[in-house]
Amino acid sequence: MRVLALSDTHGLLRPEVLRLAAQADAVLHAGDVGRPEVLEALHEACPGPVHAVRGNVDRSPPLADLPKTALLELGGVWVYLLHDLAALDLSPGAAGVQVVVSGHTHQPRAEEREGVLYLNPGSVGPRRFRLPMACAWLHLEGGGARAEPLVLPP
């Protein structure tokens, strides 16, 4: 299963992201969606499900109604989705979670700690400082997970 992980669109959905979503089995948005039209366009583009959580800028309905976290089983792998990793409210390993996807910092990062893959896909929204515009593929197969970071052209 190939999942597109993204975060921090802040109301801007780039055409490159829609092209990637069209190739995904599912999309995970780790918050700071910014505008409901972003999720609508992702639902239209992606042939599979789109899962999103609320970020700190998602204060107005319907985005304010998004959950703060989501625990998802995708391709036989348990994934925990939240916006800010500092708000992690469980022990992923003890809970059987294999992947934690978060956003908030706009800094792409993928690292494994104690058997859990922590993925921050970065931001695909408005450019911030000198950080890259980035998202990631999350490959889920055979009960395992692998992140493939993607940097979008400026």
Does residue 112 surpass a pLDDT of 90?
A: yes
What's the whole-number mean pLDDT along residues 99-112?
Answer: 97
- The domain made up of 2-151 has a fold known as Purple Acid Phosphatase; chain A, domain 2 (3.60.21)
128 — pLDDT class (breaks 50, 70, 90) = confident
Angle between helices 36-45 and 15-22 (to 10 degrees): 40
pLDDT tens digits, one per residue of 49-89 = 999 999 999 999 999 999 999 999 999 999 999 999 999 99
Delimit the domains of the chain by residue range. Answer: 2-151
pLDDT tens digits, one per residue of 8-59 = 999 999 999 999 999 999 999 999 999 999 999 999 999 999 999 999 999 9
Does residue 127 surpass a pLDDT of 90?
A: no
pTM over the 0.95 mark = yes
| HSE-CB for 58 with a 13 A CA cutoff | 31
Model pLDDT, residue 154: 78
Rounded Cα distance, 127 and 133, in Å: 7
Q: What are phi and psi of 57, to 5 degrees?
A: -95, -5
Q: Provide Rg for the chain, Cα atoms.
A: 14
